[in-house]
Amino acid sequence: MEHRLTNSEVAEILQRIADMLEIKGEVVYKSLAYRKAAQNIVGLGRDINEVWAEGKLRDIPGVGEALAKKLDELLRTGRLQYYEDLQEEIPDGVVSLLAIPEVGPKTAKLLWERLGAMSVADVERAAEAGRLRQLPGLGARSEQRILEGIRALNRRSSRISLGMAWPVAIELLDQLHQLQGVEKVSPAGSLRRMKATIGDLDLLAAARDGESVTAAFVRFPQVAEVVLQGPTKATVVLHNGLQADLRVLPRERWGSALQYFTGSKEHNVSLRGLAQARGLSLSEYGYRRDSEEILCPEEEDVYRLLGLPWIPPELREDRGEILAAEEGRLPDLVEVADIRGDLHSHTDWSDGVASVEAMAEGAEALGYEYLVISDHTRALGVANGLSPERFREQRKLIDRINARSRGFRLLQGCELEICADGSLDFPDEVLAQFDLVVASVHSGLRQEREKITERVLKAVRNPHVDVIGHLTGRLLGQREPSAVDVEAVLQEAARTGTAIEVNGIPDRLDLDDVHIQRAIELGVLLSIDSDAHSVEAFRAMSYGVATARRGWASAAQVLNTRSLHELQLWLRRRGGAS
């Protein structure tokens, strides 16, 4: 096989098939089935090629006989006849029209059949020429909306990182909370589930008079444009280009509303399935049994009526959390308060902006017991990597700071370069001098799978290496993850006891949630780090913790929830220095 398809490539093909089936006008449940399977393949946590090789495709939820057969053909040959036949019937250009807001499968088909539109640009031209309003079911207003949709599409900067979205949302929620009659506010949607990237800001408010709240909301200074506005919801585009959706519900329906709008959609679908089995119908307004209404003022009420414990939002991706809740084996998720120290940080000795002293003070102010200063090693010239001699000097400074501090302790580490040629930047005798070593790849990220995997495995097997930093090297929206065989690294890390980092920098969040869940399954120890290059950047820890929670991690599985003493014991047993 010339190219091994990744999970997301396979899922993408299934999603496109679903798109084409919708345009064809097939029964909706068929395309839903394709989408569900695609979702589960993305959330698999392991390489679908391996699942295929084991003959276990049918074990993937949502994959039945027909899909297993198609996936087998796709993974075996790299092609899928069914998909190619569909492409003959529905050109890719028609599918691409679905990217336009306001254009769904019905409209796409109409535009294609009646106007021959095969691209977004075709639709834009037709709309500008006033030809859309002549189509059945469309009028001048629809034409205008579609045109606006295309303009929004052209300027849309896709999804933004959680770290960018979160502060913006909190500010809007603060303003909402100050409005007359607003009793409660909360983030909802992917924001509340702490997904790595956020499409729209979903905001929720409890108030009796929704009309006045949405009216005030659309006049907030951050708002550039009002997309829609009604008595219970409003959608706006902010000056920074983000879209924000606000929903307003009365206080007595807060629980069901918050649950509903937090999603995920898949989680909610499964939940409604459970409700139905009990003769209940669930919506954002509460439960209904025939004509009787059951209100849920708190989110716990929604779950309790189904006999379930409250499920943390980070788990609500329909990746087994409902079954786990039913069986009483939901994980006790790690929290920011569990974190006792940070194992990865930089100072102005390499590419950080703060002094060792300032970083130490910052970490102590956060209530940490310890901080590992882990500046870059010499091979990373662009980051002013340090030589062994410079590290020895830095050690003296760290010793001095420790000598005058009480309770808090600095440890000296390094972020050891895993060089492109597969070597480690320092020999073992130098590595033995550090309290803790984080080893990371910063170069040769485009190497082929075997080569880059072998580099990382070498670091995992080195007894002086304690943590593998940002394993895949992905930068959200900028750089795809490297081809590294995550499964192989995780398995080896489970064997050697090496910790794998969950890097909290919002653009990284690496490992990602799906692989964290797999790491937990394999018993791999995690280290949640801020990788801070400044004092303010310590706060990235919270995004790292959120990502670990999304991967079902509990405190026991996270190295830096341990006390200084326990950490030092762990380091000593690993055979490194300290």
What is the smallest separation between the CB atom of 376 and DNA, expressed in angstroms?
41
283 forms part of the interface with DNA (CB under 7 A):
yes
3-state secondary structure of 20: helix
What is the smallest separation between the CB atom of 106 and DNA, expressed in angstroms?
3
What is the smallest separation between the CB atom of 32 and DNA, expressed in angstroms?
6
124 forms part of the interface with DNA (CB under 7 A):
no
Exposure string over 517-540, b if 16+ CB within 10 A, otherwise e? bbbbebebbbbbbbbbbbbebbbb
User: CB–CB of 441/455 below 8 Å?
Assistant: yes
328 forms part of the interface with DNA (CB under 7 A):
no
Residue 178 or 276 having the CB closest to DNA: 276
66 forms part of the interface with DNA (CB under 7 A):
yes
250 forms part of the interface with DNA (CB under 7 A):
no
Residue 56 or 82 having the CB closest to DNA: 82
What is the smallest separation between the CB atom of 124 and DNA, expressed in angstroms?
15
Options 114, 184, 251, 272; binder of DNA; rule CB under 7 A? 272
Q: What is the 3-state secondary structure (H, E, C) of 305-355?
A: CCCCCCCCHHHCCCCCHHHHHHCCCCCCECCHHHCCEECCECCCCCCCCCC
What is the smallest separation between the CB atom of 547 and DNA, expressed in angstroms?
22
**Secondary structure element (H or E) that encloses residue 440, with its range:** strand 436-440
Q: Which residues pair with 499 in a beta bridge?
A: 467
Exposure string over 15-26, b if 16+ CB within 10 A, otherwise e? bbbbbbbbbeee
202 forms part of the interface with DNA (CB under 7 A):
yes
Residue 62 or 544 having the CB closest to DNA: 62
Binding-site size for DNA (CB under 7 A) equals 62
Options 16, 41, 52, 62; binder of DNA; rule CB under 7 A? 62
What is the smallest separation between the CB atom of 56 and DNA, expressed in angstroms?
13
Options 1, 3, 27, 327; binder of DNA; rule CB under 7 A? 27
Unique residue bearing structure tokens 């050891």: 416
Options 1, 2, 3, 29; binder of DNA; rule CB under 7 A? 29
What is the smallest separation between the CB atom of 37 and DNA, expressed in angstroms?
6
Residue 96 or 557 having the CB closest to DNA: 96
Its sign, for the CA torsion 204, 207, 209, 215, is negative
140 forms part of the interface with DNA (CB under 7 A):
yes
Residue 57 or 490 having the CB closest to DNA: 57
**Secondary structure element (H or E) that encloses residue 235, with its range:** strand 233-238
Q: Are strands 197-198 and 182-188 parallel, antiparallel or unpaired?
A: unpaired
Of 29-37, 432-440, 460-468, 556-564, the window that binds DNA (rule: CB under 7 A) is 29-37
231 forms part of the interface with DNA (CB under 7 A):
yes
Q: What stretches of 25-63 show up as alpha helix (H) in DSSP?
A: 28-42, 48-53
Residue 68 or 74 having the CB closest to DNA: 68
Contacts of residue 337, defined as CB under 8 A and 6 or more positions apart, other chains included, come to none
Options 8, 175, 222, 232; binder of DNA; rule CB under 7 A? 232
Give the Cα separation of 457 and 87 in Å (integer): 41
Give the Cα separation of 432 and 576 in Å (integer): 6
- Which amino acid, one-letter code, is at 392? R
Of 159-167, 178-186, 197-205, 401-409, the window that binds DNA (rule: CB under 7 A) is 197-205
Of 199-207, 449-457, 520-528, 531-539, the window that binds DNA (rule: CB under 7 A) is 199-207
Contacts of residue 172, defined as CB under 8 A and 6 or more positions apart, other chains included, come to 201, 203, 220, 222, 244
Of 140-148, 479-487, 493-501, 536-544, the window that binds DNA (rule: CB under 7 A) is 140-148
107 forms part of the interface with DNA (CB under 7 A):
yes
**Secondary structure element (H or E) that encloses residue 200, with its range:** strand 200-207
Residue 279 or 523 having the CB closest to DNA: 279
Options 13, 108, 500, 502; binder of DNA; rule CB under 7 A? 108
How many H helices and E strands in the chain? Answer: 24, 17
Gap between the terminal Cα atoms of the chain: 48
Residue 132 or 559 having the CB closest to DNA: 132
145 forms part of the interface with DNA (CB under 7 A):
yes
228 forms part of the interface with DNA (CB under 7 A):
yes
137 forms part of the interface with DNA (CB under 7 A):
yes
Options 55, 230, 367, 427; binder of DNA; rule CB under 7 A? 230
Residue 139 or 167 having the CB closest to DNA: 139
Give the residue among 155, 149, 141 at the shortest CA–CA distance from 101.
Answer: 149
What is the smallest separation between the CB atom of 39 and DNA, expressed in angstroms?
12
475 forms part of the interface with DNA (CB under 7 A):
no
Give the Cα separation of 373 and 233 in Å (integer): 48
329 forms part of the interface with DNA (CB under 7 A):
no
284 forms part of the interface with DNA (CB under 7 A):
yes
Contacts of residue 23, defined as CB under 8 A and 6 or more positions apart, other chains included, come to 90, 94, 95, 98, 105, 108, 109, 112
Q: What stretches of 349-427 show up as alpha helix (H) in DSSP?
A: 356-365, 388-404
Give the residue among 45, 41, 18, 32 at the shortest CA–CA distance from 553.
Answer: 45
Give the residue among 489, 494, 481 at the shortest CA–CA distance from 454.
Answer: 489
What is the smallest separation between the CB atom of 25 and DNA, expressed in angstroms?
9
105 forms part of the interface with DNA (CB under 7 A):
yes
Residue 62 or 551 having the CB closest to DNA: 62
User: CB–CB of 338/558 below 8 Å?
Assistant: yes
What is the smallest separation between the CB atom of 186 and DNA, expressed in angstroms?
14
Q: What residue ranges bind DNA (CB under 7 A)?
A: 27, 29-30, 32-34, 37, 61-68, 82, 98, 100-108, 133, 136-143, 145, 149, 189, 199-200, 202, 228-233, 245, 261, 265, 268-269, 272-273, 276-277, 281-285, 288
